[in-house]
A and B are shown apart, each in its own frame.
Chain A
Amino acid sequence: MPLQVQGEVLSIRRVGAYQAMTVVAPGIPELTRPGHFVALAVGGPESSMLLRRSFAVYDVKDRGVYGGTVEFVFAVHGKGTEWLSRRQPRDPIDIVGPLGKPFRLPKTAVNATLVGGGYGSAPLLPLATVLRERGCRVDVVLGAGSADRLFGQLEAKRMSDSIAITTDDGTAGTRGRVSDVLPGVLDKAKTDVVYACGPMPMLRAVSDLCAERGIPCQVAVEEAMACGIGVCMTCVLPVIGEDGLTRMVRSCVEGPVFLGDRVRWDDVGTVPADAVGAPRS
């Protein structure tokens, strides 16, 4: 059950090409699990930017000197994130969370491989902590366009059994994509389950590789959202349900975490003709 909190910025720091913001938001940390996200109002109460900006939760502290805090990572893409990046400690900020369905956790100690693209690694790091606590083997693959667009590689290295890094331009790790190195990692780690977060093309590639090997894969998708709470119907994508039927489902409430083999990757951005309620032509 999400809360709307009139929070306060505790800190904001630059991490490579990204910003990591910590917000004092009492009540939200206790409810947050890895994979949940928060939605922030930007621009203040009179803002001309009405739509909330949603970010996966990176870290939470449910007790601290300042009360519970939520930390998330973002890149400056437009006016809303630019406004966020200019916040100072003690600035008020309206935050709603936790939102969405978090990653489902294995009941036994399995071998888990975590694949993050860009700052998509942010929700995977707390997931790694939880998996380690459950006795899982954790292997990590991080990829980005360039070295400054990797997030959390030192932390990932510390909490994983192995780490592989790729960059498109070769400024860190192997030159190439995560999908180039992932097959080797899956084989070596005898991976039982994969968790991924990052850009849609990466999630698709990871899902395809897992499907070929019959490895269950959970992906946290990034779809444009207006509200984050399930009322606006803008963040839909075609997903196959338990009954085998494809529906346009809201990534904010039915996701953002989906089973990779349930997402109709070829059809994202469209309404497949066989989807429930698709236009008859």
Chain B
Amino acid sequence: MTGTSTTTDMSTTLAGVRFPNPVFTASGCAAAGQELQQFFDVASLGGVVTKSIMLAARSGRATPRMAETPSGMLNSIGLQGPGIDAFLEKDLAWLHGKGARAVVSIAGGSVEDYATLASRLRGHDGIAMVEVNISCPNVESRGEVFACDPRAASAVVSAVRKNVAPGIPVFAKLSPDVTDIALIARSCVDAGADGLSLINTLLGMVIDTDTMRPKLAGVTGGLSGPAIRPVAVRCTWQVHQALPDVPILGMGGIRTGLDALELLLAGASAVSVGTTVFNDPTAPVRILRELQQALADRGIERLSDVVGLAHRPLDPPQPTVPTGPIGDLLPEEVEA
């Protein structure tokens, strides 16, 4: 479709904070933006979601940490990072200096860790949002993924919300590995989450048929990439249906502008591009361009008009039975 003169307003609002466009990086897939800056200006994105930061420096897990899977990959990094102090001093300061909107992802081993991390963010410029990673599958105690238990998720979110400066939205990042994601989502929102990031990786595993052992040193890992996109669409759909007023940052396997549009239609107000960056370092800006074109092609003037649009009621049935060839094909009576 060409020849359209529609210029779509690509801005989006997440819990009262306006972003110039809806394409963000995804936590753990863009470090803190500096490496990608070599390929495009990270300030041109809606936001840069930084790799989940913990209180102390962390070495992460042993190698191999990664295995390629069909249209995806499995990773078991284990939240390697420099710790909150170095992050604030170097990474956040750098992002702020570039004019990028930082979405700071935090991860901890206890409710107190999260509360401390949240309070450490106070007074630092350049933080547009906080994403609470309560769903990393690669922490030591996998049985204690906060996002798999509504009470634990609620405790963490509540502690973070109390300690993050008012006016900075707190988004809880949820795991798809639960029976009822809307239930967890509701717990987080009741605990004060301003929005939800959906979805984190799915727990998976690959066995090497040559060595006949698990391929990852960490045995299991998080599955990401286009392979999980339908799961992301489903989770976004279910949560938006249950909580239509809660903003969603949608992610999971977005590779093209149309993939991004699909998540917006399911109910996301913005999207994160993750694993695709490993394949194509300029993917976030390409996806933004493709999304803008896709919206223009559909004659859509405001991005916000497509958020959750797939939930609209079906078109009303035609008032009269069609006549002519189609009408002739209708059965005269319903057979039992």
- Could you tell me which A residues sit within 8 Å of B by CB distance? 1-2, 4, 41, 47-52, 80, 94, 96, 223-224, 226-227, 229-237, 247-248, 253, 268-271, 275-279
Contact = CB atoms under 8 A, between A and B. Distances in A.
Given A50-B276, A236-B60, 17 more contacts: A2-B39, A50-B68, A51-B68, A51-B278, A51-B279, A224-B63, A227-B277, A230-B31, A231-B31, A234-B65, A236-B65, A237-B63, A247-B59, A248-B59, A268-B63, A269-B217, A277-B60
Nearest to A41: B279
Contact of A253 (B35, B63, B83): B35
Given A224-B64, A277-B59, A48 B70 contact: yes
B293 interface: no
Interface string B277-292: 1111110000000000
A149 B65 CA distance: 29
B278 A52 contact: yes
Contacts of A235: 63
A123 to B, nearest CB: 22
Contacts of B39: 2, 4, 229
Given A4-B282, A51-B278, A233 B38 contact: no
- Listed from nearest, the 6 A-B pairs whose CB atoms lie closest are A277-B57, A234-B66, A277-B59, A227-B278, A277-B58, A230-B35
B62 A271 contact: yes
B29 A231 contact: yes
Contact of B80 (A94, A96, A248, A270): A248
Contacts of B68: 49-51, 80, 226
B77 interface: yes
A230 B62 CA distance: 17
A271 B139 CA distance: 15
A180 B225 CA distance: 45
Interface in B11-44: 28-31, 35-36, 38-39
Secondary structure dominating the interface of B: loop
B175 interface: no
29 contacts: A2-B38, A2-B39, A4-B39, A4-B280, A41-B279, A50-B72, A50-B73, A51-B66, A51-B68, A51-B279, A94-B280, A226-B73, A229-B36, A229-B38, A229-B39, A230-B31, A231-B35, A232-B77, A233-B28, A233-B31, A234-B75, A236-B60, A236-B80, A247-B59, A271-B61, A271-B62, A277-B81, A277-B83, A278-B59
B69 to A, nearest CB: 9
A224 B76 CA distance: 13
Given A51-B278, A227-B281, A233 B80 contact: yes
A50 B77 contact: no
B56 interface: yes
B140 interface: yes
Contacts of B72: 50
A200 B70 CA distance: 28
B71 A50 contact: yes
A50 B62 CA distance: 22
B275 interface: yes
